């Protein structure tokens, strides 16, 4: 075994040059297009949520509701409007069942489901 004298460097094995991958300093055209498309999608989504925020009745709050809260409030509002329409349709159907010409007095309306306010 060869021992190098003190103070001298050991011979180094020859190194293979490293292969470098593509430089990541620039962003590919495909990535830039995808980023622009995503930015545009988010802008449109935010704009539509802002429009929705102004269309639904909001309870008084200290802060503006988040995007998620706006969507849930819109769902609740649409549900309530649907219930109102269904109720109006039922009321219209019950009203059509009452024959106004055959009524002698308002007393006969007491038995009508139209004027039943208990349920």
Query: In this structure, are residues 56 and 70 in contact, taking their beta carbons and an 8 Å threshold?
Result: yes
Helices 67-97 + 29-55 axis angle, to 10: 50
Instruction: Give residue 60's pLDDT band: very low, low, confident or very high (50, 70, 90).
Output: confident
Report in angstroms the alpha-carbon separations of 116 from 91, 94, 96, 111.
11, 11, 15, 8
Please indicate, yes or no, if residue 5 is contained in any of the structural domains: no
Confidence check: pLDDT of 78 > 70: yes
At 4 the pLDDT is: 62
Asked if residue 42 belongs to a domain, the reply is yes
What are the start-end ranges of the E strands in 35-99? none
* Any domain includes 97: yes
Here the tokens at position 31 are 């990535």
Residue 64's domain spans which residues? 29-115
- Paired tokens of 17: 């040059």
Block residue for tokens 């009203």:
95
For 75, the token pair is 């769902």
Query: Total structural domains in the chain?
Result: 1
CA 90/CA 84 separation, integer angstroms: 10
Predicted model pTM: 0.53
Q: Tell me the pLDDT band of 70, cut-offs 50, 70 and 90.
A: very high
Flag whether 17 is in a domain. no
What does the pLDDT read at residue 41? 97
Q: Is residue 85 part of a domain?
A: yes
Residue 101 lies in a domain: yes
Is 67 within the bounds of a domain? yes
Residue 64 lies in a domain: yes
């Amino acid at each position: 075994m060869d021992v190098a004298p003190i103070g001298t460097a050991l011979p180094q094995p020859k190194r293979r040059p490293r292969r470098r991958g593509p430089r990541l300093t620039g962003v590919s055209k495909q990535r830039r297009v995808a980023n622009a498309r995503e930015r545009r999608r988010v802008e449109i989504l935010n704009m539509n949520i802002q429009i929705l925020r102004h269309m639904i009745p909001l309870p008084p709050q200290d802060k503006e509701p988040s995007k998620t809260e706006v969507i849930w409030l819109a769902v609740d509002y649409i549900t309530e409007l649907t219930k109102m329409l269904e109720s109006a349709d039922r009321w219209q159907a019950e009203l059509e069942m009452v024959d106004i010409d055959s009524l002698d007095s308002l007393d006969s309306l007491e038995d009508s489901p139209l004027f039943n306010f208990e349920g």
